[in-house]
Amino acid sequence: MNVLVYLVPLALGLGLAGLFAFLWALRSGQYSDVDGAALRILDDDDVQGTG
Amino acid sequence: MPAATDLSLYATPDDDGRLSMDLAVDGVTCGACIGRIEGAVKQLPGIAEARLNYTNRRLHVVWTGGALEPSRIVEALEANGYHGHPFVPLRAEQEEAAEARRLTRCLGVAGFAAMNIMLLSVSVWSGNSSDMTGETRDFFHWASALIALPAAAYAGRPFFQSAWRALKARSTNMDVPITIGVVLALGMSVVETAHHAREAYFDSAIMLLFFLLTGRALDHAMRRRTRAVAGNLAALKADTAHRFAGDEIVTVPAAAVRAGDRLLVKPGERVPADGTIVTGRSEIDESLTTGETARRRVAPGDTVYAGSLNYDGALRLTVTAAGGATLIDEIETLLEKAASAKSRVLRLADRASRIYAPVVHATAALTCIGWLLAGASVHDAIVTAIAVLIITCPCALALAIPAVQVVAAGALFRANVILNTGDAIERLAVADTVIFDKTGTLTLPEPRVTAAENIDPGLMQIAARLALSSRHPLAAALAHEASPRVPFDGAVEEPGQGVRAMVGGVEARAGSAAFCGTPEAAPLPGLSHIYVVHGARAAAIAVAQRLRPDATETVARLRGLGLDVRMLSGDRAEAAAPVAKALGIRQWGAALKPADKIALIEDLKRQGRRVLMVGDGLNDAPSLAAAHVSLSPISAADLTRAQADAVFLGASLAPVADAIVAARRARRLMSENLVLAVVYNAVAVPIAIAGLVTPLIAALAMSGSSLLVTLNALRARRGGAT
């Protein structure tokens, strides 16, 4: 059962990583235009480097 | 006359000396529009950023100060076939956005905590029925506490703060029992863990928060979405004014007009602010303000009101009152009202919680005393009492109504109805009498050509294409008939008289009888004539208010729904009678002043009727407020639209009936959900009192009931169309 001593913190760490990824996405505005994001991915204008 | 457009009102400076502007963009239909719009704007000099939000159809532009006139952005959009309408983002909307982000953050934290604690809890539950050692269980419980306590402190703030506010105001709301339940569950779990107990309720407390936050975030998202649409529509409708700056004329947003300004109102434009005429004579259409379809002649010294349509001549006026009737204030009131609007059942739920909280807390106390009397230990009695509190936490009850509201508002949105107030759904559901205004509500807001079949089609086309070159309001009705919609080359408009152009080598004219040199047609009430000549051919084309295309069907459908349909008009009886006859409305009134309409509505209210008022004119605004529930078309006067509980879009009248059908279904689902929540409590509470609730049962019961209520709410999706 000693394996739990590092498995549980590891699981928590992974969960926390997910949480921080979510908070980062929220802060950087990834959820402010959910419909547009689905369409922007089809747009290949950025290939020419206008961005 | 140079006519520059001054949009600097809308440009807001930031700290780096850059300017930014938000525009509501009309005409965005597909994904390709994103690239086209942003590309067009980015080609302008000095643009630092241009980003279109496809979800709410808004464009945010940032540019270096002084590099560019804001009007160039609108022109660039116009050149690509889009209409951009700048607006000032309202502070209420920004606060909403911040609140939405806060709720989503709380939701994320609660979701993370709930998942990880459940991972540990499931291990404990299965370990408890096999060979888990006490040390391992304690370790798992402490790990749960480590996650649960900070997560609850963070994610529970919306509830704790609201409960605290309610308690400070010496009242209670749904958040008070929630807060007590969560805090006690966590407190008890910590104490139990310290005493090496087999069971702890960390997972219940966090899951409860997660479910409640989901409901709240959904509710919030729905309100923000309808608010964004309402804001865009207001921006689309925002009028401009031509203001004299010395001798020059500058076009400014109507919102920038101040009392004392001198304005020019060209033919075919709406009067942007209340004012007194200095020079010019014209006829003005005040149907939006009074419902009267006959036009009024105005001369210097007369007062004109914002929203009136100027027909014939250019007017110069001095503004007497800019505030009050202008758009910005009305949006503010509209939005403030929307913000403070809470469903009546929600308020009822708040009132219910005033009964609910004492009942639940008394039950818990009685459970504790009962077990003590039955000889249980103090510890067991308290644990059982807290289990009762956890199981009765109004999770399903708090989700029951918002869930339905979110789904129903979405269904109404698809049926082209936008809610202004949250409790409109329920009030719509109980309406038993519908009162329609005539002008602009049963009829289309603009006049249309009638009896087109009596006119030579070739001549009609010439007239229609001539009309494309005119700004006259009646010409717009005629221009609807044009196909192809191409104006004639070299068409010249004589203001207040008509349009002429060479067609096939012969001059064609459309406009007043004098301008065309033809005899005047016999005047008929509610009918205007446009005259057209082309060589030897001549005709008088009749233009009149026309019923909305599906008005007859909608009135019949409303009757089929068991509603008493009536009509009250501010227009003359001879104009109102044909409409009432065409629609089969037997009870109608005409030439009514706003006070008369209110008196009639009050009368009906005294008879115990619940009146739905549908109107668009400024004169209808007070009756809309007086009625039990109100609707108005999007073309309505601003003040009226702000007063209505919901606004419907498009030329069709069907959304009125659709809204009632959807609202009735939503109300039925709300009651069903409340019954489900009560049944859940009736089953779960005796089990909890008996002391049989384990954390596993609590988890199953709470998620089960919340899921059931949410799934039931989803049935409101089908409410949009029937």
Does B716 score more than 90 pLDDT? no
Q: Classify strands B564-568 and B433-436 as parallel, antiparallel or unpaired.
A: parallel
Contact with chain A for residue B43, Cβ under 8 A = no
Per-chain mean pLDDT for chain A? 81
Residue in A closest to B108 by C-alpha: A19
Burial of residue B373 (CB within 10 Å: 0-12, 13-18, 19+) is exposed
CB contact under 8 A, B116 and A12: yes
pLDDT band for B394, please (50, 70, 90 cuts): low
Which of A27, A28, A35 should one mutate to test binding to chain B, selecting the residue with the greatest count of B CBs within 10 A?
A35
CB contact under 8 A, B112 and A19: yes
Residue in B closest to A28 by C-alpha: B101
d(CA B452, CA B406): 45
**B197 token code pair:** 């107990």
**B367 token code pair:** 């459970």
**Does an H or E element contain B26, and which?**
strand B18-26
Helix, strand, coil share of chain B (percent; to 5): 55, 20, 30
CA distance B241 to chain A (A): 33
**Average pLDDT rounded to a whole number, residues B496-500:** 82
pLDDT at position B12, please? 80
CB contact under 8 A, A15 and B115: yes
Q: Which residues of B are part of the catalytic machinery?
A: 437
Q: Please, which residues bridge with residue B5 across strands?
A: B251
pLDDT at position B202, please? 92
pLDDT band for B656, please (50, 70, 90 cuts): very high
CB contact under 8 A, A43 and B31: yes
**B218 token code pair:** 């959904």
Q: SS3 for B13? A: strand
Q: Please, which residues bridge with residue B241 across strands?
A: B252
Does B407 score more than 90 pLDDT? no
* Least confident segment among B32-46, B127-141, B516-530: B516-530
Contacts of A14 (CB under 8 A, 6+ apart): none
**Of residues B285 and B151, which shows the higher confidence score?**
B151
What are the Cα distances from residue B551, in Å, to B54, B436, B584, B651, B657? 33, 11, 11, 10, 11
CB contact under 8 A, A15 and B116: yes
- Residue B659 CB coordination number (10 Å): 31
Does B554 score more than 60 pLDDT? yes
Q: Classify strands B3-5 and B248-253 as parallel, antiparallel or unpaired.
A: parallel
Does B233 score more than 80 pLDDT? no
CB contact under 8 A, A36 and B108: no
**Average pLDDT rounded to a whole number, residues B651-668:** 89
Does B326 score more than 50 pLDDT? no
Residues in chain A closer than 8 A to B32 (CB atoms): 43
Residue in B closest to A24 by C-alpha: B105
Dihedral sign for Cα B676, B678, B679, B680, please: positive
Interchain CB contacts (distance < 8 Å): A and B: 59
Contact with chain A for residue B53, Cβ under 8 A = yes
Residues in chain A closer than 8 A to B147 (CB atoms): 12
CB contact under 8 A, A45 and B136: no
pLDDT at position B713, please? 84
Does B288 score more than 90 pLDDT? no
CA B360 to chain centre: 37
Alpha helices in B638-653 (DSSP H): 638-643
Does B211 score more than 80 pLDDT? yes
pLDDT at position B328, please? 39
Contact with chain A for residue B109, Cβ under 8 A = yes
- Residue B273 CB coordination number (10 Å): 28
Percent of chain A with pLDDT over 90: 24
Q: Is B498 left (phi over 0), alpha (psi -120 to 50) or beta?
A: left
CA distance A11 to chain B (A): 8
**Average pLDDT rounded to a whole number, residues B558-564:** 91
Residue type, B156: G
Does B327 score more than 50 pLDDT? no
Q: Please, which residues bridge with residue B248 across strands?
A: B245
CB contact under 8 A, A34 and B55: yes
**B512 token code pair:** 């007043």
Nearest by Cα to B582 from B607, B609, B555, B542: B555
Which of B28, B34, B56, B93 should one mutate to test binding to chain A, selecting the residue with the greatest count of A CBs within 10 A?
B34
- Residue B519 CB coordination number (10 Å): 10
pLDDT at position B348, please? 55
d(CA B643, CA B137): 60
CA distance B411 to chain A (A): 18
Ordered by start, the domain boundaries in chain B are 1-89, 95-226+341-405+666-719, 238-330, 418-445+548-651, 448-544
CB contact under 8 A, B108 and A8: no
**B627 token code pair:** 């009625």
* Least confident segment among A37-51, B112-126, B438-452: A37-51
Task: Read off the pLDDT of residues B191-209 as tens digits, 9 standing for 90 and up.
Answer: 999 998 888 889 989 988 9
CATH fold for the domain made of B238-330: 2.70.150
Q: pTM higher than 0.80, yes or no?
A: no
* Least confident segment among B102-111, B468-477, B530-539, B578-587: B468-477
Contact with chain A for residue B39, Cβ under 8 A = yes
d(CA B632, CA B645): 8
Nearest by Cα to B621 from B596, B604, B602, B639: B639
DSSP assignment of B319-377 equals EEE-TTTSHHHHHHHHHHHHHH---HHHHHHHHHHHHHHHHHHHHHHHHHHHHHHTT--
Contact with chain A for residue B40, Cβ under 8 A = no
Contact with chain A for residue B52, Cβ under 8 A = yes
Which of A22, A34, A48 should one mutate to test binding to chain B, selecting the residue with the greatest count of B CBs within 10 A?
A22
Q: SS3 for B50? A: strand
CA B655 to chain centre: 14
pLDDT at position A51, please? 43
Task: Read off the pLDDT of residues B453-465 as tens digits, 9 standing for 90 and up.
Answer: 778 888 888 888 8
CA distance B669 to chain A (A): 29
pLDDT at position B389, please? 83
Q: SS3 for B410? A: helix
Residue in B closest to A5 by C-alpha: B139
CB contact under 8 A, A26 and B133: no
Residues in chain A closer than 8 A to B136 (CB atoms): 1, 4
- Which superfamily does B418-445+548-651 belong to? HAD superfamily/HAD-like (3.40.50.1000)
Percent of chain B with pLDDT over 90: 13
Q: Which of A8, A15, A42 sits opposite B31 (nearest CB)?
A: A42
CA B493 to chain centre: 39
Does B686 score more than 80 pLDDT? yes
| B510 touches B478 (CB < 8 A) | yes
**Average pLDDT rounded to a whole number, residues B636-643:** 72
For the structural domain made of B448-544, what CATH number should be given? Answer: 3.40.1110.10
Does B190 score more than 90 pLDDT? yes
CB contact under 8 A, B105 and A23: yes
Contact with chain A for residue B112, Cβ under 8 A = yes
CA distance B218 to chain A (A): 14
Residues in chain A closer than 8 A to B120 (CB atoms): 8
**Average pLDDT rounded to a whole number, residues B466-492:** 78
CA B255 to chain centre: 21
**B527 token code pair:** 């009918």
**B698 token code pair:** 């609590």
pLDDT at position B720, please? 42
CA distance A27 to chain B (A): 8
pLDDT at position B721, please? 40
**Alpha-carbon dihedral of residues B539, B540, B545, B548, nearest 10 degrees?**
-10
Q: Which of A18, A36, A45 sits opposite B53 (nearest CB)?
A: A36
pLDDT at position B4, please? 59
Q: In what order do the strands lie in the sheet with B309-310?
A: B296-298, B282-285, B309-310
**Average pLDDT rounded to a whole number, residues B650-656:** 87
Task: Read off the pLDDT of residues B565-606 as tens digits, 9 standing for 90 and up.
Answer: 999 888 888 878 888 888 888 888 888 877 788 788 888 888
pLDDT at position B627, please? 82
Residues in chain B closer than 8 A to A23 (CB atoms): 105, 108
Interface of A with B (CB under 8 A): 1, 4, 8, 11-12, 15-16, 18-19, 22-23, 26, 31-36, 39-40, 42-43, 45, 50
d(CA B140, CA B393): 25
Does B148 score more than 50 pLDDT? yes
pLDDT at position B371, please? 92
d(CA B191, CA A47): 60
B1-89 to CATH, choices 3.30.70.100, 3.40.50.300, 3.50.50.60, 3.40.30.10: 3.30.70.100
CB contact under 8 A, A15 and B120: no
pLDDT at position B694, please? 82
Contact with chain A for residue B676, Cβ under 8 A = no
d(CA B722, CA B421): 24
Nearest by Cα to B675 from B397, B465, B422: B397
| B86 touches B141 (CB < 8 A) | no
Per-chain mean pLDDT for chain B? 81
**Of residues A43 and B632, which shows the higher confidence score?**
B632
